[in-house]
Amino acid sequence: MSIRTLAVLTVRNEGAFLLDWLAHHRAVGFTDFLVLSNDCDDGTDALLDRLHAMGEITHLPNPAPHLGGIQFAGLKRADKHPLLREVDWILALDVDEFVNIHTGDGTLGALHAALPDADAITLTWRLFGNGGVAQYLDTPVPDQFRRAAPVEMNWPWRASMFKTLYRNDGQYRKLGVHRPRALQKGAVPRWVDGCGRSLSGDFLTKRLFSPFGRDNYQLVQLNHYPLGAMASYILKCDRGRAVHDADRLGMDYWVERNWCVEEDNSISRYTPARDAIRTALASDPVLADLHTKAVAWRHARFGELMESEPLRALFGRLVMTPPSQPVPQQVARYLFRFARNGRAKAASSNKAQQ
């Protein structure tokens, strides 16, 4: 009996990236895709409708209102979809995240064979920086950005965040952006990290980041490309964040994610299989045309946005800012000391107010 694994994705105005992303994750071994879209101007929704009609994905529109944020609202819709009652494993992803398995033949089957007793596997981000790429190109993102954060990071904590591949056996009843939610009373799921080490405590209920200062990638990592080309980042700033849609992106987001310290080409193992799947998808003339239009929209929209002084100034700052440098361990410990003190004071204050 084959294992069915579902990827859940929320998108807006990202039609130019969808075929590459889908082809990659087909090559990894995902069998099912539930994709939610909202407020698209580039034809993303039409492209998803076509993929749905071809039987490649399931497209679920995610119209407003988006209480709690666009992505949270989308996942609540996804929770109710019948597809979630049919699959064996689930992973919530973004279009700039690419699963990269290092064990066996690089497929989900190999990962499960290496971790047969796991109920939840943390896929820790490895952040890939911009690398000085200014203009958007219609080329697979993993082929363009090859330099990443160090294997062992000490700061910031966001560099060690993870997404969770989890067994859909009822122990968790709701999807979450980074981890499943609503743990069934009495359930004790078996969590492991990307090296197969056991995890416990708050990993079962709330934790969102892996332990600092150690390699979390021996068996699997999540290649995260949050910046892309500088032109793409300008469009991302215009679109807004999927989780906290009221927050505006700027240089702070860029600096915390622009890591180009080490070269990592490990994801290239998927290139032949990915390219074969991508070619097959593009053989559909309707799909190919929709992709071409989405690419043209990105170029045109960037030109429009660059007529705005704030975004034009931001683009200039991106060009001038060098890649981020790792924080020494001693400095990271110093920063975390203040973070712990702040959390303790906040917890004490909340307790006093109750």
pLDDT of residue 242: 56
Beta-carbon contacts of 8 under 8 Å, excluding residues fewer than 6 positions away, are 33, 34, 35, 36, 75, 78, 90, 91, 92, 93, 175
Q: How far is CA 112 from CA 25, 98, 212, 256, 339, in A?
A: 16, 18, 25, 32, 36
Task: Reply yes or no on whether the pLDDT at 244 is more than 90.
Answer: no
**Segment among 160-174, 265-279, 326-340 with least mean pLDDT:** 326-340
Q: Tell me if 218 is assigned to some domain.
A: yes
Residue 277's alpha-carbon distances to 16, 23, 29, 47, 272, in angstroms, are 16, 5, 12, 16, 9
Q: Is residue 354 part of a domain?
A: no
Question: How large a percentage of the chain has pLDDT more than 90?
Answer: 86
How high is the pLDDT of residue 343? 79
Instruction: Give me the mean pLDDT over the 276-289 stretch.
Output: 98
Report pLDDT for 213: 73
Residue 160 maps to a domain:
yes
Q: Which residue has the higher pLDDT, 167 or 342?
A: 167
CA–chain centroid gap for 187, Å, is 27
Render pLDDT for 74-91 as a digit per residue (tens, 0 to 9). 999 999 999 999 999 999
> Mean per-residue pLDDT for 136-164?
95
| Predicted pLDDT at 354 | 65
What number is the average pLDDT over the span 283-303?
98
- Give the CA diameter of the chain: 63
Residue 1 has pLDDT above 70, yes or no: no
Is 155 or 55 the better-scoring residue by pLDDT? 55
The tokens describing 107, both together, are 């497929």
The per-residue pLDDT for 247 is 61
Residue 165 banded pLDDT, cuts 50, 70, 90: very high
Q: Evaluate whether 17 touches 40 at the Cβ level (below 8 Å).
A: no
The Cα 271–Cα 327 span in angstroms is 33
SS3 helix, strand, coil % of the chain, rounded to 5? 40, 20, 40
Where is 181: in which H helix or E strand?
strand 181-183
Would the pLDDT of 349 be above 60?
A: yes
Band (pLDDT 50/70/90 cuts) for residue 10 is: very high
Residue 30 falls within a domain, yes or no?
Answer: yes
pLDDT at residue 237 tops 60: yes
**How far apart (Å, rounded) are the C-alpha atoms in residues 306 and 231?**
9
How many CA atoms does the CB half-sphere of 239 hold within 13 Å?
23
pLDDT class for 325, splitting at 50, 70, 90?
very high
What average pLDDT score do residues 289-299 get?
A: 98
Would you say residue 223 lies in a domain? yes
Token readout for 344 is 């303790």
Domain annotation covers residue 309? yes
User: Distances in Å between the alpha carbon of 137 and those of 34, 52, 218, 303?
Assistant: 26, 26, 31, 14
Q: What is the per-residue pLDDT for 243?
A: 54
Residue range 196-212, pLDDT digits in tens: 999 999 999 999 999 88
Residues in a beta bridge with 59: 35
The candidate with the shortest Cα–Cα distance to 232, out of 314, 335, 328, is: 314
Mean pLDDT of the 228-243 span: 87
Mean pLDDT for the stretch of residues 172-183: 98
Q: What confidence tier does 342 reach under pLDDT thresholds 50, 70, 90? A: confident
What is the percentage of the chain residues whose pLDDT exceeds 70?
A: 97
> Mean pLDDT across the chain, nearest whole number?
94
Query: Which residues have C-beta within 8 Å of that of residue 118, sequence separation ≥ 6?
Result: 112, 167, 190, 191, 192
> 96-141 pLDDT, tens per residue?
999 999 999 999 999 999 999 999 999 999 999 999 999 999 999 9
Range of the domain at 79: 5-348
Would you say residue 353 lies in a domain? no
pLDDT greater at residue 64 or residue 142? 142
Domain count, the chain: 1
Asked, for residue 165, whether it belongs to a domain, the answer is yes
pLDDT of residue 240: 76
Report the pLDDT value the prediction gives residue 347, as an integer from 0 to 100.
Answer: 73
More confidently predicted of 349 and 92: 92
Q: What is the pTM of this model?
A: 0.95
Q: What letter does residue 210 receive in the DSSP assignment?
A: P
Contact predicate 29/53, CB 8 Å: no
